[in-house]
């Protein structure tokens, strides 16, 4: 662990006055990148964005922290409340839906700009990158395709990014000083980050680890205590209301702890090991995509993997010496990501500016290296050449993402399939109808009908798709729990499930109609859809 006192002194550098404008330029670029990419797609196309909007509506209208779209409006335990609280405040200022969705998206663009400013400050003052290295590292990892994808939708990552570096500043300060007050602030800050996205909690053990390594036991304990006390009300809430959502919906709307624990209990250590290997393979594939080497021959792709890994490890090791809490937080964070049954890409993008700093440290170290011997100088130039190829590949990836509008493709797929379903619901169903659908949150927001999913989300399907028989049995279970009026199917899973119940003996669903994308079904034995 590095000793205290590694901070750079930017005011002592030449051109410090001119340097003060750099964070504002970075913020403007990040803001512009997101704002020009915002398009009028409906909220709910990404599922999570719809859930956050429902929770914001619930808070803003005084109905508590509830899933208003579901029958009986159960209390919400799936997502921590800080981002929905921010949206609820915006809802109060702009209470007309869906017009306020634009306000939410522009607020996210502002948060990305704030994240760029704090990331610059952290890269300069704590990580010690020079002006150019800091500007390029932060700019390339905030005004970029992954962050734009997250920023143009109503997702919590922009708020997480805006808070990340201030929290790391507080944690590094506590690790340096060991003062009780700083330790309490760091623990509370890490807990606040966890109230945006749960994985932010790793800032707490990372800080405690560095303090323990430096034998500052009291401060390490206070960090953990403050974090525990700040997160305790939320954990008590989850414990009190976690059972209000049926087990079939735990993966989508319940607490993740029991959901994942069941999978680990069923699959044991072999399943976890397989999951880690699977996610590592996905991270490698993500790296290929991020460097735009995916279509190239396999030897090139694997060479790129080795080079990227070497630069990341080298940059991380340098970060340990300059900002040890941040380095160990990244390590713990990625350790959880590779053992979590979900696509790793979205989690890594939530710490993307810090990842940029790690690569910036590595590349900057190679460029500034001045070995005396010729063999080492040859190694240095080889490193410079490889770093240049990485930069070119990453720039090409962002160019392709921008010119092809990847973030619009993600939204358009769901928007195109959901629009005719919403129009059919408004024309053909009573206001108190209960609809089971693939896009339940979106359909509730734009039709006002109570909605539930027509399937479940399991940890196992991250590695192996659900079978049609499993999808059918799941829908049958859902219809036993809820008095469903109509089942709308517009995805593979939804179609498998509905088809199985249509073909059952006796049939449990009948076809009401077909749309351009998807079909409408009604129960055969009960409900208004007969």
Q: Are 472 and 381 part of one and the same domain? A: no
pLDDT tens readout for residues 441-485: 999 999 999 999 999 999 999 999 999 999 999 999 999 999 999
What mean pLDDT comes out for the span 492-521? 92
> CA distances (Å), 189 to each of 196, 228, 271, 327, 463, in order?
11, 11, 34, 17, 35
Residue 232 lies in a domain: yes
Q: Is the pLDDT of residue 288 over 50?
A: yes
* CA 289/CA 271 separation, integer angstroms: 27
- Res 159: pLDDT: 98
Choose among 406, 509, 483, 486: nearest CA to 438: 486
Contacting residues for 244 by C-beta, under 8 A, at least 6 apart: 74, 75, 77
* CA 106/CA 122 separation, integer angstroms: 25
Residue 185 lies in a domain: yes
Whether 318 and 99 have beta carbons less than 8 Å apart is answered as no
Choose among 266, 261, 37: nearest CA to 152: 37
Q: Are 368 and 454 part of one and the same domain? A: no
* CA 271/CA 215 separation, integer angstroms: 37
Residue 1 lies in a domain: no
- Res 16: pLDDT: 59
- Name the one residue in this structure whose structure tokens are 């930017």: 10
Q: Are 250 and 359 part of one and the same domain? A: yes
Q: Are 72 and 108 part of one and the same domain? A: yes
* CA 186/CA 439 separation, integer angstroms: 39
- Extract the tokens encoding 429: 């169903």
Q: Is the pLDDT of residue 527 over 90?
A: no
Q: Are 303 and 436 part of one and the same domain? A: no
Q: Given pLDDT bands bounded at 50, 70 and 90, which one contains residue 493?
A: confident
Contacting residues for 394 by C-beta, under 8 A, at least 6 apart: 140, 290, 291, 292
Q: Which of 1-15, 385-399, 514-528 has the lowest mean pLDDT?
A: 1-15
Contacting residues for 151 by C-beta, under 8 A, at least 6 apart: 33, 34, 37, 105, 108, 109, 111, 112, 157, 158
Question: What's this model's pTM, rounded to 2 decimal places?
Answer: 0.94
Q: Are 375 and 501 part of one and the same domain? A: no
pLDDT tens readout for residues 386-439: 999 999 999 999 999 999 999 998 899 999 999 999 999 999 999 999 999 999
Label residue 380 exposed, middle or buried (CB < 10 Å: 0-12, 13-18, 19+): middle
Residue 2 lies in a domain: no
* CA 158/CA 163 separation, integer angstroms: 9
In the listed set 379, 404, 429, which residue is the last one of a domain according to the structure? Answer: 404
How many domains is the chain built from? 2
Q: Is the pLDDT of residue 149 over 80?
A: yes
* Residue-wise burial string across 147-170, b where 16 or more C-beta atoms lie within 10 A, e elsewhere: bbbbbbbbbbbbbbbbbbbbbbbb
> CA distances (Å), 379 to each of 293, 315, 359, 372, in order?
23, 17, 18, 12
| Edge-to-edge strands, sheet with 450-453 | 450-453, 434-437, 486-489, 519-523, 509-514
Choose among 163, 142, 169: nearest CA to 349: 142
What mean pLDDT comes out for the span 97-124? 97
Residue 430 lies in a domain: yes
Residue 62 β-bridge partners: none
* 3-state SS, one letter per residue, for 248-289: HHHHHHCCHHHHHHHHHHHHHHHHHHHHHHHHHHHHHHHHHH
- Grouping H, G, I as helix, E, B as strand and the rest as coil, residue 438 is coil
Residue 381 lies in a domain: yes
* CA 149/CA 108 separation, integer angstroms: 11
Residue 229 β-bridge partners: none
Q: Are 189 and 245 part of one and the same domain? A: yes
- Res 11: pLDDT: 41
Q: Are 282 and 375 part of one and the same domain? A: yes
Choose among 65, 41, 54: nearest CA to 451: 54
* CA 359/CA 345 separation, integer angstroms: 17
Residue 4 lies in a domain: no
In the listed set 357, 378, 404, which residue is the last one of a domain according to the structure? Answer: 404
Q: Are 232 and 377 part of one and the same domain? A: yes
- Res 9: pLDDT: 42
Q: Is the pLDDT of residue 123 over 50?
A: yes
pLDDT tens readout for residues 290-303: 999 988 899 999 99
* CA 69/CA 448 separation, integer angstroms: 8
Residue span of the structural domain in which 467 resides: 409-523
DSSP codes joined into one string, 407-432: HHHHHHHHHHHHHHHHHHHHHHS-TT
Q: Given pLDDT bands bounded at 50, 70 and 90, which one contains residue 524?
A: very high
Q: Are 490 and 383 part of one and the same domain? A: no
- Extract the tokens encoding 102: 């634009």
Choose among 203, 205, 197, 204: nearest CA to 256: 197
Q: Are 377 and 504 part of one and the same domain? A: no
Contacting residues for 345 by C-beta, under 8 A, at least 6 apart: 146, 282, 286
In the listed set 382, 404, 426, which residue is the last one of a domain according to the structure? Answer: 404
- Extract the tokens encoding 347: 């989690």
Q: Are 399 and 417 part of one and the same domain? A: no
Pairing of β 509-514 and β 519-523: antiparallel
Residue 506 lies in a domain: yes
Contacting residues for 355 by C-beta, under 8 A, at least 6 apart: 141, 312, 330, 348
- Res 18: pLDDT: 78
With the C-alpha atoms ordered 246, 252, 254, 260, is the resulting torsion angle positive or negative?
Answer: positive
């Amino acid at each position: 662990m590095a000793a205290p006192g590694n901070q750079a002194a930017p005011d002592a550098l030449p051109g410090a006055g001119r340097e003060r404008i750099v964070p504002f330029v970075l913020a403007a670029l990040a803001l512009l990148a997101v704002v020009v990419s915002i398009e009028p797609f409906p909220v709910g196309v990404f599922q999570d964005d719809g859930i956050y909007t429902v929770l914001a509506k619930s808070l803003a209208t005084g109905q508590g922290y509830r899933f208003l779209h579901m029958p009986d409006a159960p209390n919400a335990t799936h997502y921590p409340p800080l981002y929905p609280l921010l949206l609820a405040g915006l809802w109060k200022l702009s209470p007309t839906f869906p017009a306020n969705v634009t306000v939410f998206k522009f607020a996210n663009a502002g948060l990305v700009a704030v994240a760029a400013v704090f990331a610059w400050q952290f890269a300069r003052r704590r990580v010690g990158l020079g002006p150019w290295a800091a500007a390029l590292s932060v700019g390339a990892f905030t005004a970029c395709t992954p962050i734009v994808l997250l920023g143009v939708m109503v997702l919590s990552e922009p708020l997480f990014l805006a808070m990340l570096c201030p929290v790391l500043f507080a944690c590094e300060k506590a690790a340096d000083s060991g003062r009780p007050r700083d330790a309490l602030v760091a623990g509370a800050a890490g807990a606040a980050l966890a109230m945006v996205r749960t994985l932010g909690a790793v800032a707490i053990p990372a800080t405690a680890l560095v303090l323990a390594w430096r034998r500052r036991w009291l401060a390490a304990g206070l960090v953990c205590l403050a974090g525990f006390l700040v997160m305790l009300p939320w954990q008590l809430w989850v414990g009190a209301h976690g059972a209000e959502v049926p087990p079939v919906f735990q993966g989508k709307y319940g607490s993740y702890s029991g959901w994942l624990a069941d999978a680990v209990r069923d699959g044991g250590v072999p399943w976890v090991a397989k999951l880690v290997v699977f996610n590592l393979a996905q991270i490698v594939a993500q790296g290929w995509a991020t460097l735009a080497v995916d279509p190239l021959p396999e030897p090139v792709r694997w060479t790129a993997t080795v080079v990227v890994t070497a630069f990341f490890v080298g940059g991380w090791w340098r970060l340990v010496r300059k900002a040890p809490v941040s380095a160990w937080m990244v390590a713990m964070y990625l350790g959880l990501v590779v053992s979590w049954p979900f696509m790793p890409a979205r989690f890594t993008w939530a710490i993307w500016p810090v990842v940029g700093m790690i690569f910036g440290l590595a590349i900057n170290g190679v460029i500034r290296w001045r070995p005396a011997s010729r063999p080492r100088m040859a190694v240095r130039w080889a490193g410079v050449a490889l770093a240049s190829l990485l930069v070119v590949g990453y720039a090409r990836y962002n160019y392709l993402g921008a010119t092809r509008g990847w973030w619009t493709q993600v939204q358009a797929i769901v928007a195109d399939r959901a629009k005719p379903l919403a129009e059919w619901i408004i024309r053909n169903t009573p206001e108190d109808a209960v609809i089971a659908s693939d896009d339940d949150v979106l359909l509730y927001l734009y039709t006002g009908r109570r909605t539930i999913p027509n399937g479940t989300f399991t940890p196992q399907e991250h590695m192996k798709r659900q079978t049609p028989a499993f999808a059918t049995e799941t829908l049958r279970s859902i219809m036993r729990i809820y008095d469903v009026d109509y089942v709308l199917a517009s995805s593979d899973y939804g179609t498998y499930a509905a088809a199985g119940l249509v073909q059952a003996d006796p049939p449990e669903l009948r076809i009401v109609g077909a749309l351009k994308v998807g079909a409408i079904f009604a129960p055969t034995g009960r409900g208004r859809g007969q």
